[in-house]
Amino acid sequence: MIVTVTPNPSLDRTIELTAPLARGEVQRAGVAHQEPGGKGVNIARVLFASGVDSLALLPGDYDDAVLVALRTLGIPHHGLHLGTALRSNITITEPDGTTTKLNEPGPVIAQAQQRALLQLVVENSEGASWLVLAGSLPPGLPVNFYAQLTMAVRSAFGPAAPRIAIDSSGAPLAAALAGPGDSLPDLVKPNAEELAELTGFPDPYRLEADPLLAVKAAATLVDAGVGAVLATLGSKGAVLVNPEGSWLARSPKIIARSTVGAGDSALAGYLLSQAAGATGPQSLQQAVAHGAAATALPGSTVPALSQTHPAAVSVTVLSDAKEN
């Protein structure tokens, strides 16, 4: 069982344009559709599509459009009553794959609801192989909420606690990696920009273009106590850094339709591979295969395992434990 937590879920509306976006003009959409979203929800959708036992935890009322959509899709989930509507996000994709996102802040989470959400996560984490804490934090939640969740779950289950992965950005991600050792995750999944921000590297574009620089930056997080770093580098693939070494995985060139959710799909691919007992490099290979498959799909559509091609993804050893 893989459990995902999405503190700030959304109803994701995607508009596909047939021509480049013209600011200040009236344009007709080619296609428009919507799905339940937020990073953890997206990961749960990928896992469900791939036949993996999973559970999505999120705030939201029973009749909220996000939870209605999850029920319609048949995705296992538990919602926490808020008494107010969840946010909506809008994604605009252009024919060349350029993606523009407009994200609302989300409803305010009161202190009592924060405690209830923490309890919901602890109660549903028993026996899970992975617990994924993903996405932004809505107003009202403290910036270190992910660190609080991590410590609460580990305190509750000790050595039997699930491995914890965090996929966030900005202050919530920095706070999740700034606490004591028992609050640090087993896996963190930044993109190049987030990795640069975390490590103080001045140019995220250089990290994306040079996997060896990305590995060097990621290694500082592993040295500080993070279990592993899966860093996605856009069209350059992804790197995995853990105490055993570092690897680069690249996919053959594909025609990109939308980059929305590609990082979420990559993390889901890594986790489902890990849950099946694969090695780090094998899981990295599946991560890149899932991310590539997502990029080739429209809007925020997520790929099933059967739609991925890990054998086409090349994996290169960049260092091993003897060199670290």
- Active-site residue numbers? 264
User: How many alpha carbons lie under 13 Å from residue 154 in its C-beta half-sphere?
Assistant: 15
The residue with tokens 């999405």 is 6
The residue with tokens 């003897």 is 322
Q: Which amino acid is at 288?
A: V
With contact defined as beta carbons under 8 Å apart, do 288 and 182 qualify? no
Cα separation values, 110 from 37, 116, 135, Å: 22, 10, 18
Helix (H, G, I), strand (E, B) or coil at 295: helix
CA-based R_g, the chain, Å: 19
Tell me how far apart the alpha carbons of residues 92 and 323 are, in angstroms, rounded to a whole number. Answer: 45
- Using DSSP bridges, classify how beta strands 163-167 and 187-188 pair: parallel, antiparallel or unpaired: parallel
Tell me how far apart the alpha carbons of residues 82 and 87 are, in angstroms, rounded to a whole number. Answer: 12
Residue count (the chain): 324
